[in-house]
Structure 1
Amino acid sequence: MMKALMPVIMASILGIYGLVIGVLINGSISSDGTYEFYSASLHFAAGLCVGIGSLSAGYVIGDIGNIGAYAFVNNPKLFIMFVFLLIFAEILGLYGLIMAIVLFTYSNSK
């Protein structure tokens, strides 16, 4: 039973990536009303990077979870390969998070 929850756990991590970038961007916006277009554009691009990366990773995790659940019921030896495929799918979201952090640091450097 717990083996079938692995895709759900991996997909929930993707939401944390978006939360991290949201908190970083919210903390960098000043309260005095000045928000430059350059910083706003980079913050928007950072949000898009983490959003599209997490969306694509979530889609792949869903497909792997669907196929893998049926596969390792018949052959329990496939569970390790199933976990590796889920990790490789999670890397798509992690790449989006890394790109978003790089864009966020560029917005604060100017």
Structure 2
Amino acid sequence: MSVPPAQVILLTGTPSAGGGKQSFFGAIGCASAIIFTVFGASYGTAKSSGAIFSAGVLRPERLMQNTICAIMAQILSIYGLVASVIIANGLEEKQPLHTSFLQLAAGISVGLCGLAAGFAIGIVGDAGVRASNQQPRLYVGMILILIFAEVLGLYGLIVAILLHSKSGTGVTDCSAF
């Protein structure tokens, strides 16, 4: 009785069992990292830019000061780029399935955290720019809330780096099964 190749890969996790197809999951993690963080950065930039320009009509002297929202949104895409490069450098044609799953988890971690942070930055930036344009004392509060929103993406990057650092050191022998 022969075991189907998919079960051999899942049970053994060895590169020779899968013919090198395990790196697919790592590649999906690499792509997820950049795709989702760029979606978050795009949303944050677009949402806050509408408020920046509409507020700039009333108070053009504050236009450059209010662009901090769009700048902070773009930092999220840098987090995704860093994670994607780290994951891509760790990809090999024949690697243990364990490594590929950790790379997938790393990419999804930074990607979804960046997406959530982008939504938060966009919404905070939109409301904050409009409010601080009417009451300039609210600007510092807006910056603090933007920092709290930005750090969500940083948490995802830290988790992604930790997951990827474990991907090369894990035990892939599943002989207990």
TM-score range, shorter chain: over 0.9
Name the counterpart of 1:95: 155
Paired residue type of 1:41? F
Q: What TM-score, normalized by structure 1, do the two folds share?
A: 0.94
Alignment partner of 1:45 is 2:80: no
Deviation of 1:109 (Å): 1.5
The match for 1:4 among 53, 60, 66 is 66
Q: How does 1:45-84 map to 2 (within 5 A)?
A: 45-84=105-144
CA distance in 1, matches of 2:65, 2:142: 10
The match for 1:34 among 73, 94, 106 is 94
Structure with higher helix content: 1
The match for 2:145 among 39, 60, 85 is 85
CA RMSD of superposed structures (Å): 0.8
5+ residue gaps, structure 2: 1-62, 171-177
Name the counterpart of 1:24: 86
5+ residue gaps, structure 1: none
Paired residue type of 1:72? S
Deviation of 1:99 (Å): 0.6
CA distance in 1, matches of 2:160, 2:114: 12
Deviation of 1:17 (Å): 0.5
Q: Comparing both chains, which one has the higher relative contact order based on Cα–Cα distances under 8 Å and sequence gaps of 6 or more? A: 1
Identity of paired residues, percent? 42
What stretches of structure 1 move > 2 A for 4+ residues in a row?
none
Larger Rg: 2
Name the counterpart of 2:76: 14
Q: What TM-score, normalized by structure 2, do the two folds share?
A: 0.59
Deviation of 1:97 (Å): 0.5
